[in-house]
Amino acid sequence: MDADTRAETPSQQRRRTGQSGTERGRQLDGVRMLIIGASSGIGEACARAAHAEGARIAVAARRVDRLEALAHQLNGAAHVLDVADYAAVKTVVRDVAENFGGIDVIVFTSVVVPLAHVEHVDAATWAHAFAVNAIGPAVVLRDALPFLSRDAVIVVASTHDVGRPRAGVSAYNASKAALDEILTSWRTEHPHLRVVRVAVGPTDDTEILRGADRDLLDELFERWEINGQASFEMSRAADVAGTIVSLIAAARANPSVITEVVKLAPCPGTPHTSEQ
Ligand SMILES: NC(=O)c1ccc[n+]([C@@H]2O[C@H](COP(=O)([O-])OP(=O)(O)OC[C@H]3O[C@@H](n4cnc5c(N)ncnc54)[C@H](OP(=O)(O)O)[C@@H]3O)[C@@H](O)[C@H]2O)c1
């Protein structure tokens, strides 16, 4: 093993060797999994990581071309879904459950991040952020409830920043704070359900700032630096996904423990993907 190979992360090693989960003993063999927000970033990486561990995969989001290509690679099913269209959520959840004969795991990573100074956020923008980031997962959970297996695991992505919003992301932060309360209500009223809130930190290889106004972003970044909120360290999406898949496997293997909240932070000094 040379120095470069020794420095590899497990996810890089899997990509290099093409070693499948079968050869290592698969953690999620046959587990029926719906990943919403799987057309890019952490959701897509979760779909790939779970497939490598033997899960059966259904992916959902709005960009059909990406979803179909991913589903084809993973021998899974693609479902076009805007999570702010609550009638469509019901249909997709029912279709996935009927195809699989039930659902064991849901991972929700869909997100919208409107960038604007708080005084410029209009009512429609507030409403859309809440519709996608907070009400979306609540409706998914409601519609999935009749189809969930007894040991089902629900993972919903949140953020480190709840409670200390950065400048320019007020609608995102407020909706994530609401999401956290909604997940707490689910745990209170359905204590047998494994509802895991994963507070994600700054992560590379995602499209979370897709479409952002670069000038505004530069201006906001200066403000984040002044406030000590700029992030220079990043986790890799594949590693975040590997961690999420391990959490799901751990929850299924240890039924007397419910993991409620997990915070994922970047490991300092890890090179960004573009620097490798
Ligand atoms: N990346 C980071 O640095 C970071 C930091 C903290 C927290 N997080 C959290 O991590 C999670 C995943 O984010 P990411 O970084 O992977 O972002 P991403 O690459 O932008 O992925 C977001 C996903 O959401 C989907 N989506 C957006 N609007 C949707 C809608 N109306 N209906 C259905 N799907 C929709 C997108 O697909 P379509 O456009 O095809 O619908 C995409 O698949 C989010 O909850 C985010 O808050 C990320």
pLDDT at 270: 77
Spacing, Cα 132 to ligand 1 middle (Å): 10
Spacing, Cα 2 to ligand 1 middle (Å): 36
What are the structural domains of the chain?
A: 24-264 (3.40.50.720)
Which parts of the chain have pLDDT scores under 50?
1-6, 9-10, 20-22
Distance of alpha carbon 142 from alpha carbon 241, whole angstroms: 25
**Which protein residues touch ligand 1 with a CB less than 6 Å away?**
37-43, 61-63, 81-84, 109-112, 132, 157, 159, 200, 202-203, 206-208, 210
Query: Which pair of structure tokens corresponds to residue 257?
Result: 């423990």
Query: Which pair of structure tokens corresponds to residue 69?
Result: 């290509």
pLDDT at 86: 98
pLDDT at 244: 98
Tell me the backbone φ, ψ of residue 144, rounded to 5 degrees: -80, -25
The verdict on pTM exceeding 0.85 is: yes
pLDDT at 160: 87
Position 114, amino acid: P
Atom of ligand 1 nearest to the CA of 203: 3
Q: Pairing relation of β-strands 194-200 and 148-159?
A: parallel
Taking only the tens place, the pLDDT of each residue in 166-181 is 999 999 999 999 999 9
Atom of ligand 1 nearest to the CA of 202: 3
Distance of alpha carbon 198 from alpha carbon 141, whole angstroms: 16
Spacing, Cα 169 to ligand 1 middle (Å): 14
Look at the block and give the residue holding tokens 């496997």: 249
pLDDT at 274: 64
Spacing, Cα 38 to ligand 1 middle (Å): 8
Looking at ligand 1, which residue's alpha carbon is closest to its atom 41?
A: 62
Distance of alpha carbon 191 from alpha carbon 101, whole angstroms: 24
pLDDT at 78: 98
pLDDT at 13: 54
pLDDT at 246: 97
